[in-house]
Structure 1
């Protein structure tokens, strides 16, 4: 299956603009050195040797690469260091234990949120999800009630923006925004209460009535009644960066990923928003997974070096720390220990289709937003492209995230 986009045109002016026509992938303006190509090839050779059971050959390659200087100064050096750690963990998990439990810690949660905050490829994905939700609300002007079910509030600022947009659309008829979120082992009820208290203060300033509910339920118990859904409200489900952390049929016969989608479909929402990283980190054979990780994380780490991101160097550094754990876990682990299982959009499209969903074009909604004058400066190198109804956010020809909407 193919992804939504493996390439997009490099932005020529520092303005976020929607690119409508299909374009070919472009190479970054700075050519990679033969040395960097050599170590990447060596890493893929080591991965191939591991895959074929020639662990001694892989160990020799990794020992040779580790002997060289690696000051971890730029994105290329960081990528090499992360991948060396990953492959060493794969070969010898006793001496080099891979991060598994670490991906459920408060520290990692803060790192991921830092990534969502500083990288346009991520926070623009949340913005696209908001636009799709607002579009669904505008399609039912007879009601001023909007209910959003969020299974993992990844970025609380998403709802700051949504409250602001609703306040601008009230026209004397006060909106009610009902947010229902589910507590789990990663985001506990106490943290969610803090988010709810903060959003209540924002809502009071915006003049929007906010109802914030926290529920603790098993997946099998989810229903419109248990989630407090009302017949006269617009119901939206936000799945931004949720599904990639859920086990699928390759991990468990229960397949909680597909079960969640079936449960969501049973809620009969007006819109479901899906934002995910564009990377085949689940089904590809091990050497291909390593090659995919090298290409994806190279682009992502390079983008974090841009001036646009580095104005907040503390959060950018924290985001990189989280990326190192994500990459090592992706490469070193299998089964339930591989916590994150990213897919390309083609896989998500098929999975959503099997659950009974139909794609609802979000590209047109984003285009309307830009045409209304809400464009803003964005550093050259970041790209935004509409493709077949979805919106792809990327860096120098590589798609990083894809936002889509469904009904």
Structure 2
């Protein structure tokens, strides 16, 4: 862990009880206030008292963020020192979560140039405590996404909805906007081969994203396409694979233009189903432009992207994403939202991966990448801009789509998938949509839409 003692005030050098010393500058009532239960987190222990509590950790992080934003280097350094001592990177889930935010706050101070006194801490962080995201082989990634329902939930719900929508079509064109590099497609091909009497021609178009967003693959898109084509052939399905280099930063404009051109050339073939499958990718489209405030909903890049999709008159649009809000322009608001959501994956990992395992290191490195992006980055570099289900639902309706919901058979398939995983996972319906939960807290939502 990082060491800050060389530049600390004398009073802090002399104490062996940093929590008690620092507590004199913090409102105890504020620190011990609990606004909601934290399932999975340990109760405050005798050694740390209230400083081991999740809500206390959050308050310390908030105070630190405010100090960094106001360029109060002395207070920032004192709080960071306390956090460094009570939140080790190999501690419990609560401590590891806090350590991730500690790293992110130091990275923000280094990037923004505030708190010059924190330079030494930033150097120490980058040299001794940096987490590097892993580049997965395709076998590693397939195994990785199967560890929890985090992605499998969206795969299962979407595949069930797609199967219903494409029945009777000779050709199925799937536009796959997926964070997981087509890991959903083999299960969909299996389902098509097993449930449709006359397997259709399957066209698969993906956006070859130019951003390095985890999980990252050590395989080129061309190599990935060859593997998918061969897999489909083994299931007696002809698969055409097409990759369009495209960026989320401009609303996947290259992909949209390609799809429009295809429509002009081939027309709206009556026996071809167009499926737009969006799996945890649309929140990388900026939610506001440089010239248009976020409040002008119809003009945001996300709304414009959906309008372009609507103009293609798709057979079905499936949207699955994480149910949280990371869009605030205020750092403290984002920190609170992220802290109150990202405790979930840290809590989950303790249930299925042993400390020190490679997969656990990879899993938590991806979470730390997300935390740092939310906290340390701004402008176009801050791409983790999650929005809650309710906002996406309103946006889809305003763009000319209506929800089609999930039938009991689809719900049964999702429940069957959840039964394969540890206790704690749950499923609930909100209006027409399905929501994956962990210990009662919303995690991921899945929605299905058709043109109104």
Q: C-alpha separation between the residues in 1 aligned to 2:417 and 2:178?
A: 27
Task: Tell which structure's C-alpha radius of gyration is larger.
Answer: 2
- The structure 1 residue matched to 2:210, chosen from 185, 196, 206, is 185
Tell me which residue corresponds to 2:382.
Answer: 338
> How many pairs were matched up?
375
Tell me which residue corresponds to 2:173.
Answer: 147
Q: Does the CA contact (< 8 Å) of 1:135 and 1:365 recur in 2?
A: no
Q: Is residue 278 of structure 1 aligned with residue 314 of structure 2?
A: no
1:363 CA displacement? 5.8
1:237-386 alignment to 2 at 5 Å?
237-249=276-288, 253=292, 255-283=300-328, 285-307=330-352, 313-362=357-406, 364=408, 366-369=410-413, 376-386=419-429
Q: Which runs of 5+ in 1 are unaligned?
A: 1-24
Q: Is residue 161 of structure 1 aligned with residue 187 of structure 2?
A: yes
Tell me which residue corresponds to 1:28.
Answer: 39
Q: C-alpha separation between the residues in 2 aligned to 1:272 and 1:121?
A: 20
1:148 CA displacement? 0.5
**Greater Cα shift, 331-340 or 245-254:** 245-254
Q: C-alpha separation between the residues in 2 aligned to 1:29 and 1:241?
A: 26
Tell me which residue corresponds to 2:156.
Answer: 127
1:30 CA displacement? 5.7
Cα distance 1:375–1:247, how it changes in 2: closer, same or farther (>3 A)? closer
Give the structure-1-normalised TM-score.
0.80
Report the 3-state secondary structure (helix = DSSP H, G, I; strand = E; otherwise coil) of the residue aligned with 2:321: strand
Report the 3-state secondary structure (helix = DSSP H, G, I; strand = E; otherwise coil) of the residue aligned with 1:306: helix
Q: Is residue 223 of structure 1 aligned with residue 249 of structure 2?
A: no
Describe the superposition over 1:239-268 as per-residue Cα deviations: whole angstroms up to 9, x where unpaired: 111111121215565854333212111111
Tell me which residue corresponds to 1:214.
Answer: 243
Tell me which residue corresponds to 2:440.
Answer: 397
Q: C-alpha separation between the residues in 1 aligned to 2:437 and 2:331?
A: 24
Describe the superposition over 1:76-97 as per-residue Cα deviations: whole angstroms up to 9, x where unpaired: 2211211111122223325449
**Greater Cα shift, 271-280 or 83-92:** 83-92
Describe the superposition over 1:3-25 as per-residue Cα deviations: whole angstroms up to 9, x where unpaired: xxxxxxxxxxxxxxxxxxxxxx9
1:219 CA displacement? 5.2
Larger relative contact order (CA 8 Å, sep ≥ 6): 1
Q: C-alpha separation between the residues in 2 aligned to 1:311 and 1:144?
A: 49
Give the structure-2-normalised TM-score.
0.73
Report the 3-state secondary structure (helix = DSSP H, G, I; strand = E; otherwise coil) of the residue aligned with 1:223: helix
Cα distance 1:301–1:318, how it changes in 2: closer, same or farther (>3 A)? same
Report the 3-state secondary structure (helix = DSSP H, G, I; strand = E; otherwise coil) of the residue aligned with 2:369: helix
Q: Is residue 78 of structure 1 aligned with residue 96 of structure 2?
A: yes
Q: C-alpha separation between the residues in 2 aligned to 1:314 and 1:54?
A: 38
Q: Does the CA contact (< 8 Å) of 1:114 and 1:318 recur in 2?
A: no
Cα distance 1:320–1:311, how it changes in 2: closer, same or farther (>3 A)? closer
